[in-house]
Every structure is written in structure tokens, then in C-alpha cells.
């Protein structure tokens, strides 16, 4: 800790994956920086303060020596250090595919029936979290601020505390935190909850997630006391006061907007519409995942075409599904279901010159992605549960003509900030979503412009840089009671979603 400013000397980021992509050229291993929002936002802070990112390389542990060698010079290339945690295939299978993706991911998205509560997954999760902690212990100093990310690494703080580490530790959960009725199904509920309380600051995406967490603490750990302070909660746990707060993640708004205006994206956007003349394009973009609500969305599109004939031949759904976790059976089944629905709907409605659904099953280039964002008249973003959903924010940033309509699920974290100017839908309500599509289709340009300008201003005001600043600010702030950030974007301190009957 710097004694004058109270700001720790170096920032250490710990996440499951390192923010780099390794490539082999002529047998030699090289790496380049990844392009996600998180690395874009954190890289300047890491460079500025000096820092380090610790995570798995994405490669086999057999290549670890080579990875370490390549990363030795990383600070020259990226301006900060990188340290890899080697994982064996077995560890990856049990900790990553098993505990993280077949237990925590479904459970925290309220889908308990998708969970495989295998004890060996939990044992591997503990072992791998210890491995991450050992690497952190090895390469950090007591003056560092250590910021751990996401559901793969909930136990890192408790492992570090076990090694005697007293440094301040922060944690941010990118996915939702479930309500007590769901969380208590986890066989290791006490251990996980206590492990989270070994951090000094625990951050969530929304008020709802924070409220769920605090309720779980009150229900399961009666020896622990909690009190609210401003937008935060303070939890007294083992001689430490844990701060619990809300930090909705965001995007690099200016960068998305700038790229959306570029010639390359403009041209690509022009061709998209040239190929679909006289159409309003409805855009869905999701990783292949059962939390994204893709089958309900396709049902809603079918329902809209059946009930509102004026939409036929005037509206085209471009549904992009990015391949993900296809080796897990549930994901494979989902792909089959999506493809069945797409072919049924296209079979029922296609006419000469018009195919209702353009289905794309691949990763788009950034230019393609931004061109779709820029040109689509309607974005249909309807996850059944989502931590935040950055696609919604990216769509707004790229909608530079201010003529798009955002249709948004009530159950995405982004709803807390965007609900006032998006068309809100319940993703399980097929008829309601169909009506939302009709309303969006009919919305005049004045109303579209008013709503989109407000949405864009919200996303611009609270961008990814503010997110980093607000988390680190809350980590070091001496007096949380006048910490400013919360009231600026959350309509209500306890409930971040307002539902209206008939709305
Ligand atoms: C987790 C939480 C939370 C998507 N398709 C393509 C592509 N993308 C990029 C988007 C966006 C990102 O992937 C997806 O972000 P999301 O936020 O929607 O979802 P998750 O990956 O599930 O992330 C989520 C997030 O963490 C951050 O905290 O919001 O709730 O689940 O950035 O642009 N990019 C390219 N081609 C594609 O086809 N280039």
C-alpha cells in the first residue's frame, strides 16, 4: 500500500484464462493480446501502476515450459506481466467442465435441474483454486492489490488466507448470484459462502445479486452479522469487515462507437441491408447456451409471424449462435433444438425472395459483428437469466443512427440500467415477446430516436473505465458511507427492476 495515497502499488488480476491468445507459427509459440472489454479496460491500469495478470494459458500443461518462456518477456509486449497457471487435462475436465460449468453455471442461473453435483468436481475445484492461490502467492508482494474474477475462482481468497496472506483481496462475480432457495441446493453451500467472505470486497452485477448473497449469508451463517451502508453491505467475518457492493460491468463505449463509424463497418453494414431490401432486421447474438433463451425467442418469432401477417416479408431475424461448450451433452441438445425450430419456421413461412430466419452458427469477425449492430433495426436480447449481457450495451453504442429498438429480457442484469428506454419482455412469455416484436416494428422514428439516445447516454456515462474505477475506488475508499457511485445508476437501492402489470 502506498502510504500517502492509500493505493496499493501493483494491481494483480486473477482470472481463469489469461487475456492473450497463443499461436504457433513455424513451430514457434507466440501470443497476442485478446480483444475483450475486460482486458481493454484493465490494460491501461495495469500498465500505469505496474501489474500482473494470472490465469490459465488455454494450452496443455505439457507446453507449460514453453508458455513460461514466452511469457517471460510479456511485460515488453503488453506493458504488464503475465503468469500462467498450468492445468492438466484431468483438472480441466473436473474443475472447469465439471464444477464451474456443470454446477456453478447452471445453479447460479437458477437451472438446478441442469446440475451434476459430483463430489469429485468439488474436490478438483478446491485443488485447482489452491493451485491458482499458490501461483499468486509465488509471484505477488504484500503491497499488491489482488482482484480475482468470476465463478471459477471463488475459493482463491480462502486458500491465500490459509497461506497467511493479509493483502487486500477483491472479487467480482460476472454471473448472477442465485436466491437462497436455489443456492442452498449446493452441497458445498457453507464452504462456498465462507470462502467468498475471505475477500475484502465482493462485487456483483446488480442489486438483486447482492440482495440474494446477503440473504444467503443471513440464512446460512447466523454467526455472521451484516449491515447496510449507503449502497453497500458490510459483513463482519472473522475479524474482517467484508464490503459487498454492486458494480454493473460495461463496455468501452467510445471504441465501439468509433469503430461503428469506420469505413469498413459502414460498408459491411450497407451490404447487409442491400442483401435484405425492404426489411427490418431483427438481431439475436448469443453464445450457444441454454441461459440465453434462444428456443423461446424463436417460438416468439413464429408466434409473431402467425398472429401479425403484416410482419411477413417485412421482417427478417438474423440469429447468430456462437459455438460454445458443444462437448457437453446439454449444449449439443440445445443446438439440435435450435436448428429444428429454425427449419420448421423457415419451412412454414419462406416465400420467393424472403427467408424469415437467417441462422449463422459461427464466430463473427469484429467488423461483421459491428456491422450487424449498426444496421439492425431491432435487437432481440432475451436471456432467461444473465449476469449483465454486454451485447445489449454494444448494440446501443453502435447504433449511431439512433434508429434501433432494444427488446430486452427482464432477467438480464443490463435490465437494471436499460429498462426505462428498452422494450422489456419476460423471456418465458412467447406471446408477450411476439407483441414486443410487433410494437418495435411499428415504432415511429421519433420514439426510436428518443429511446436510443437515452440508452446510449446511459451506456456512455457508465462505461468499462468507470466500472474499473468504481470497483477499485470502493476497495480503497476509507469512508463508504459517502461513496458516490451507487445512486447514479440504480433506480432503487434494493430492487433494480420494476415490473408493471400489462406492461
Ligand atoms: C459473462 C456473463 C456478463 C459474441 N458473439 C461474437 C462476439 N461476441 C462477444 C460480444 C460480447 C461477448 O462476446 C458476450 O458477452 P456477454 O455479456 O453477452 O456474455 P458472456 O460471454 O456469457 O459473459 C455475462 C459478462 O460475463 C461480463 O461480465 O455480461 O452476463 O455471462 O462482448 O461482443 N464477438 C465476436 N464475434 C462474435 O460472433 N467478435
Q: What are 45-76's pLDDT values in tens digits?
A: 888 888 999 999 988 888 888 888 888 877 77
Between CA 114 and CA 106 the distance in angstroms is 6
Atom nearest to 394 CA in ligand 1: 33
- Residues 155, 174 within the same domain: yes
DSSP state of 437: H
Q: Which of 370, 431, 450, 437 is nearest to 408 (CA)?
A: 437
Lowest-confidence pick of 8-22, 260-274, 489-503: 489-503
Share of the chain above pLDDT 70, in %: 93
Say what the pLDDT of residue 6 is. 54
Which pLDDT value is given to residue 485? 52
Which residue, judged by its Cα, is nearest atom 26 of ligand 1? Answer: 174
Residue 186 sits in the same domain as residue 335: no
Is it the case that residue 488 has pLDDT exceeding 50? no
Using pLDDT thresholds of 50, 70 and 90, give the confidence band for residue 204.
very high
Q: Is the pLDDT of residue 105 over 50?
A: yes
Q: What crossing angle do the helices spanning 263-275 and 253-261 adopt, rounded to 10°?
A: 70
328/202 same-domain check: no
Least confident segment among 3-12, 206-215, 386-395, 447-456: 3-12
Residues 242 and 268 in one domain: no
Looking from the CA of residue 365, the nearest atom of ligand 1 is 39
Pairing of β 20-25 and β 28-33: antiparallel
Model confidence band, residue 382 (pLDDT cutoffs 50, 70, 90): very high
Is 353 a domain residue?
A: yes
Q: What number is the average pLDDT over the span 151-166? A: 96
Give Cα 91 distance to the centre of its chain. Answer: 24
Q: Are 55 and 22 in contact (CB under 8 A)?
A: no
Residue 486 pLDDT > 60: no
Are 210 and 263 in the same domain? no
Asked if residues 71 and 84 have their Cβ atoms less than 8 Å apart, the reply is yes
Using the predicted structure, report yes or no on whether residue 114 has a pLDDT greater than 60.
yes
DSSP character at residue 85? -
* Predicted confidence band of residue 373 (pLDDT cuts 50, 70, 90): very high
96-101 mean pLDDT: 95
SS3 content of the chain, % helix, strand, coil (to 5): 50, 20, 30
> With a 6 A CB cut-off, is 292 part of the ligand 1 pocket?
no
Distance 290 CA to ligand 1 centre (A): 14
Look over the chain and give the mean of its residue pLDDT values, rounded to a whole number: 91
Please give the residue range of the domain that contains residue 334.
253-461
Distance 389 CA to ligand 1 centre (A): 7
Instruction: Say yes or no: 230 and 292 in one domain.
Output: no
Catalytic residues: 174, 386
Contact 376, 404 (CB under 8 A): yes
Ligand 1 mutation pick, 387, 390, 459, 462, max ligand atoms within 8 A of CB: 390
pLDDT, greater one: 411 or 330: 411
Residue with cell 467472505: 197
336 shares its domain with 282: yes
* Pocket of ligand 1 contains residue 394 by CB under 6 Å: yes
Asked if residue 338 belongs to a domain, the reply is yes
Specify the residue for cell string 411476439.
Answer: 434
Decide which of 253 and 479 is more confident. 253
Q: Which atom of ligand 1 is nearest to the CA of 363?
A: 38
363 DSSP 8-state letter: P
Query: 8 falls in which pLDDT band (50, 70, 90)?
Result: low
With a 6 Å cutoff on the Cβ, whether 386 touches ligand 1 is: yes
Helices 37-49 and 464-476: angle between axes, nearest 10 degrees: 50
For residues 366-385, give the mean pLDDT.
Answer: 97
3-state secondary structure string, 108-175?
HCCCHHHCCCCHHHHHHHHHHHHHHHHHHHHHCCCCCEEEEECHHHCCHHHHHHHCCCCCCEEEECCC
Q: Is a pLDDT exceeding 70 seen at residue 109?
A: yes
Ligand 1 lined by 261 (C-beta under 6 Å): no
Q: Is the distance from the beta carbon of residue 318 to the nearest atom of ligand 1 less than 6 Å?
A: no
pLDDT-derived band of residue 343, with 50, 70 and 90 as boundaries?
A: very high
Kindly state if the Cβ of 388 falls inside 6 Å of ligand 1.
yes
Give the pLDDT of residue 50: 85
Dist. CA 287 → ligand 1 center (Å): 7
Q: Is residue 491 scored above 80 in pLDDT?
A: no
Q: Which of 104, 175, 324, 387 to mutate to test the pocket of ligand 1 (most atoms within 8 A of CB)?
A: 387
C-alpha 357 – ligand 1 centre gap (Å)? 22
Q: 231 pLDDT band (50/70/90 cuts)?
A: confident
C-beta 175 within 6 A of ligand 1: yes
Interval 213-242 mean pLDDT = 93
Please indicate, yes or no, whether residues 272 and 204 belong to a single structural domain of this protein: no
Does residue 200 contact residue 170 with C-beta atoms inside 8 Å?
yes
Distance CA 128, CA 114 (A): 23
Give burial (CB, 10 Å; 0-12/13-18/19+) of 499. Answer: exposed
Same domain, 318 and 260: yes
At 330 the pLDDT is 83
Query: What is the number of other CB atoms lying within 10 angstroms of the CB of residue 182?
Result: 17
* Residue 379 CB–ligand 1 contact under 6 Å: no
pLDDT, average across residues 35-42 = 76
Decide whether any atom of ligand 1 lies within 6 Å of the 412 Cβ.
Answer: no
The reply to whether 189 falls in a domain is yes
**Are 269 and 192 found together in one domain?**
no
Q: Is residue 279 within 8 Å of 316, Cβ to Cβ?
A: yes
Tell me, yes or no, whether 439 lies in a domain: yes
Residue 300 lies in a domain: yes
**Within this chain, do residues 213 and 315 fall inside the same structural domain, yes or no?**
no
Nearest CA owner, ligand 1 atom 1: 174
Q: Is the CB of 391 under 6 A from ligand 1?
A: yes
Structural domain total, the chain: 2
Between these two residues, 70 and 293, which has the higher pLDDT value? 293
Q: Which atom of ligand 1 is nearest to the CA of 174?
A: 28
* For the chain, percent of residues with pLDDT exceeding 90: 76
Same domain? 407 vs 451: yes
C-beta of residue 100 within 8 angstroms of C-beta of residue 173: no
Mean pLDDT across 353-380: 96
Amino acid at each position: 500500500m502506498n502510504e500517502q495515497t492509500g493505493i496499493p502499488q501493483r494491481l494483480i488480476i486473477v482470472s481463469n484464462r489469461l487475456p492473450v491468445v497463443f499461436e504457433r507459427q513455424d513451430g514457434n509459440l507466440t501470443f497476442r493480446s485478446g480483444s475483450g472489454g475486460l482486458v481493454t479496460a484493465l490494460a491501461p491500469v495495469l500498465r500505469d501502476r505496474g501489474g500482473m495478470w494470472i490465469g490459465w494459458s488455454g494450452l496443455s500443461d505439457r507446453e507449460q515450459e514453453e508458455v513460461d518462456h514466452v511469457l517471460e518477456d510479456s511485460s515488453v509486449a503488453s506493458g504488464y506481466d503475465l503468469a500462467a497457471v498450468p492445468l492438466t487435462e484431468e483438472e480441466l475436465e473436473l474443475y472447469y467442465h465439471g464444477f464451474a460449468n456443470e454446477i456453478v453455471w447452471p445453479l447460479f442461473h437458477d437451472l438446478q435441474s441442469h446440475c451434476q453435483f459430483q463430489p469429485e468436481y468439488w474436490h478438483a475445484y478446491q485443488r485447482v483454486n489452491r493451485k491458482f492461490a499458490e501461483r499468486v502467492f509465488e509471484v505477488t508482494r504484500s503491497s499488491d492489490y489482488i482482484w480475482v474474477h468470476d465463478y471459477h475462482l471463488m475459493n482463491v481468497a480462502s486458500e491465500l488466507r490459509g497461506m497467511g496472506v493479509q493483502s487486500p483481496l477483491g472479487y467480482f462475480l460476472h454471473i448472477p448470484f442465485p436466491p437462497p432457495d436455489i443456492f442452498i441446493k449446493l452441497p458445498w453451500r457453507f464452504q462456498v459462502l465462507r470462502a467468498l467472505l475471505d475477500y475484502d470486497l465482493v462485487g456483483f452485477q446488480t442489486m438483486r445479486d447482492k440482495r440474494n448473497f446477503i440473504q444467503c449469508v443471513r440464512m446460512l451463517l447466523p454467526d455472521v452479522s451484516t449491515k447496510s451502508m449507503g449502497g453497500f453491505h458490510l459483513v463482519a467475518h472473522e475479524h474482517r469487515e467484508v464490503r459487498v457492493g454492486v458494480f454493473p460491468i460495461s463496455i468501452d463505449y467510445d471504441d465501439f462507437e468509433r469503430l461503428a463509424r469506420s469505413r469498413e463497418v459502414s460498408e459491411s453494414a450497407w451490404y447487409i441491408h442491400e442483401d435484405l431490401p425492404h426489411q427490418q432486421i431483427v438481431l439475436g447474438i448469443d453464445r450457444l447456451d441454454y441461459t440465453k433463451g434462444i428456443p423461446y425467442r424463436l417460438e416468439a418469432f413464429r408466434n409473431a409471424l402467425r398472429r401479425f401477417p403484416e410482419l411477413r416479408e417485412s421482417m427478417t431475424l438474423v440469429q447468430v449462435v456462437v459455438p460454445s461448450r458443444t462437448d457437453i451433452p446439454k449444449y449439443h441438445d440445445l443446438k439440435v433444438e435450435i436448428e429444428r425450430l429454425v427449419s420448421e419456421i423457415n419451412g412454414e413461412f419462406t416465400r420467393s425472395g424472403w427467408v424469415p430466419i437467417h441462422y449463422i452458427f459461427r464466430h463473427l469477425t469484429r467488423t461483421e459483428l459491428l456491422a450487424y449492430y449498426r444496421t439492425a433495426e431491432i435487437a432481440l436480447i432475451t436471456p432467461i437469466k444473465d449476469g449483465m449481457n454486454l451485447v445489449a450495451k454494444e448494440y446501443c453504442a453502435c447504433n449511431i443512427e439512433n434508429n434501433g429498438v432494444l427488446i430486452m429480457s427482464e432477467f438480464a442484469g443490463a435490465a437494471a440500467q436499460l429498462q426505462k428506454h428498452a422494450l422489456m419482455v419476460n423471456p418465458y412469455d412467447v406471446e408477450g415477446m411476439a407483441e414486443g416484436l410487433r410494437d418495435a416494428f411499428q415504432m415511429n422514428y421519433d420514439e426510436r430516436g428518443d429511446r436510443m439516445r437515452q440508452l446510449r447516454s446511459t451506456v456512455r456515462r457508465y462505461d468499462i473505465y468507470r466500472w474499473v474505477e468504481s470497483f477499485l475506488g470502493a476497495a480503497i475508499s476509507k469512508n463508504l458511507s459517502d461513496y458516490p457511485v451507487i445512486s447514479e445508476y440504480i433506480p432503487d437501492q434494493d430492487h433494480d427492476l420494476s415490473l408493471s402489470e400489462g406492461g
